[in-house]
């Protein structure tokens, strides 16, 4: 009899605890989810691009006698330039390499007197085809460039009316920094030294020209 009473008491105690356990189960909060943090991707410098640029050029023009090479006169043909460029980049683990071509128009004519005549010297159209190699730190690219360059030079004797112009061929080398402002728009600042060599382009004047240019150009481009 005593054991039956104890058993009944245990059943009643267990039944009384069930509602409390169920209540605890109902209010238990689910485990908190770990927030997902989005990591920004590295900017991709690869692809085709076109741009426009402007800047200033310092051109040293050395003239000598076409036959003997005797120095005649040296002139500084300094002035503004405007142009356009296009190229293609490959991008691999931070390294950027590709090819670029550009064309520009110089505004650097200068008049001076020589042997009683008034001469006008200038460079007109020019351009280059170059390789570019650099390293990108996300949206900032530091690069070097070099390759073939040309310029169209003119020399006019305004006293006699004789005018000659021809294209000189040489090489160029330089460096620059480029910044991606958006996913498609970039801006750059580039310095280049160009040596167009010596050429007997002014035969009617009896003059040989030697042209070298330092230029600093600011450009904006669109990447596709």
Alpha carbon distance 146, 98 (integer Å): 11
φ and ψ at 19, to 5 degrees? -60, -40
Least Cα distance to 80 among 224, 215, 222, 219 occurs for 215
pLDDT by residue for the chain (224 residues), tens only, comes to 444 444 444 444 444 544 544 445 445 566 666 555 444 578 999 999 999 999 999 999 888 877 777 787 788 999 999 999 999 999 999 999 999 999 999 999 989 888 888 989 899 999 999 999 999 999 999 999 999 999 998 888 898 888 888 899 999 999 999 999 999 999 999 999 999 987 766 666 677 778 899 999 999 999 99
Alpha carbon distance 221, 145 (integer Å): 17
The reported pTM is 0.78
């Amino acid at each position: 009899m005593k054991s039956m009473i104890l058993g009944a008491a245990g059943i009643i105690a267990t039944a009384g605890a069930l509602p409390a356990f169920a209540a605890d189960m109902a209010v238990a909060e689910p485990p908190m989810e770990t927030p997902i943090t989005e990591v920004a991707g590295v900017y991709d410098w690869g692809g085709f691009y076109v741009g426009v640029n402007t800047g200033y050029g310092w051109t040293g023009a050395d003239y000598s006698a076409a036959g003997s090479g005797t120095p005649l006169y040296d002139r500084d043909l300094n002035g503004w330039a405007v142009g356009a460029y296009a190229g293609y980049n490959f991008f691999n683990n931070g390294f950027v390499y590709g090819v670029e071509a550009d064309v520009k128009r110089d505004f650097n004519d200068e008049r001076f007197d020589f042997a009683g005549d008034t001469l006008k010297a200038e460079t007109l159209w020019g351009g280059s085809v170059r390789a570019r190699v650099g390293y990108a730190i996300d949206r900032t690219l530091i690069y070097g460039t070099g390759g073939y360059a040309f310029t169209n030079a003119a020399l006019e004797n305004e006293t006699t009316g004789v005018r000659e112009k021809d294209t000189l061929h040489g090489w160029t080398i330089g460096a620059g920094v480029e910044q991606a402002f958006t996913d498609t728009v970039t801006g750059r600042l580039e310095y280049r030294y160009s040596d167009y060599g010596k050429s007997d382009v002014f035969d009617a004047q009896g003059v040989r020209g030697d042209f070298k240019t330092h230029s600093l150009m600011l450009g904006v481009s669109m990447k596709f």
